[in-house]
Amino acid sequence: MTRFYFDHNATTPLSARALAEMTSCLRDDFGNPSSIHQDGQAAKQRLETARRQVAAAVGADPDEVIFTSGATEANNMALFGLRPRHVITSTIEHPAVGQVCAELERRGAQVTYVPVSGAGVVDPDDVRRALRPETDLISVMAVNNELGTIQPIEELAQLGVPVHSDSVQALGKISMTPIALRSFSAHKIYGPKGVGALVMRGGVTLESTYFGGRHERGRRPGTENLSGAVGFGAAATELGADHAPMMALRDRLEQGIVDRVPQSFVNAGTGPRVGNTTNIRFDGVEGEAMLIALDLKGFAVSSGAACSSGKVEPSHVLMALGLSKDQARSSIRFSVGRTNDAAQVDALVEAVATVAARLRKLSPVYVGV
């Protein structure tokens, strides 16, 4: 069976360039980047080239880029490293921020969770009203992973408090305004899994959360994942050109589904969104059942964040929009990428229409129009 992949927000396939650079690194540059001999220095050069490539992609200086094992670690480093007394965050954050904030509360910090509109966007005025004299950090994601909605990071950066943003879904899709701290992950941009970066602007100081070495300029101990960083750097050089074509495919998919499937609705469709993501609700359809049925037909889609798969509760992101539990459970995320084309989109629309009609016939609660 031919399979079509529409879950690029969960992860992306490794690009040919990233694979080639990683293979070269694994074969030829096995030295430790911290060693002073020639083999170590050759590895160091590959690491610093990758750092410059990532820095250029995110609009930072190379010495502001700290390689990590991924965005989850970067988020932990940022939030725990600042040791904030009071944090303002949103109700739609990825668990990599939301669960860190919950742990900060258990350790005595105070956290304010600001709501989002029905369009899935934080209101800067809500953040402004939540400010206190002891507010040390605002942490709001740049682009929501389930909805694709773009958050007003530029406006938040004007409030006089350091801003951290989980920017995993933003890289290559929107421009990067310099802020105190940003987190990234390579496997969302056709790089390898297991490597990411925390970008920390000059003047920001973090307390160490790890100990054991002076790697990454003393900010993250442990021998670097050299081949991962090289793959990240290679992937970072290929960003941007495919965003407009992906938006056209997303719009084709969205319109096709809404036209073909009665009582289907785009969640947060009126908000500003990146071009590859749509989240669609199918009233009277269990989202997990649709996901499985589409998978059996050869289509990979998602019912929410990959890190939250298997949980019983409906998406906290969709609930934050004001959806009921049943509505949240009836929603599917589709995220297009470089591997998709118009023919695949049309095939997916046909499959969704067929599956939705079949599942609704079996549903004890669906009432047709």
Catalogue the active-site residues.
Answer: 307
Q: Cα separation of 87 and 42, whole Å? A: 42
Q: Which tokens is 268 given?
A: 């947060």
Q: Provide Rg for the chain, Cα atoms.
A: 21
Task: Answer whether 253's CB lies under 8 Å from 327's CB.
Answer: no
Q: Cα separation of 179 and 154, whole Å? A: 8
Q: Cα separation of 194 and 14, whole Å? A: 12
- Kind of pairing between the strands at 135-139 and 163-166: parallel
Rounded to 10°, the helix 226-236/16-28 angle is: 150
Q: Cα separation of 93 and 87, whole Å? A: 13
Task: Answer whether 273's CB lies under 8 Å from 329's CB.
Answer: no
Q: Cα separation of 235 and 186, whole Å? A: 8
Task: Answer whether 277's CB lies under 8 Å from 347's CB.
Answer: no
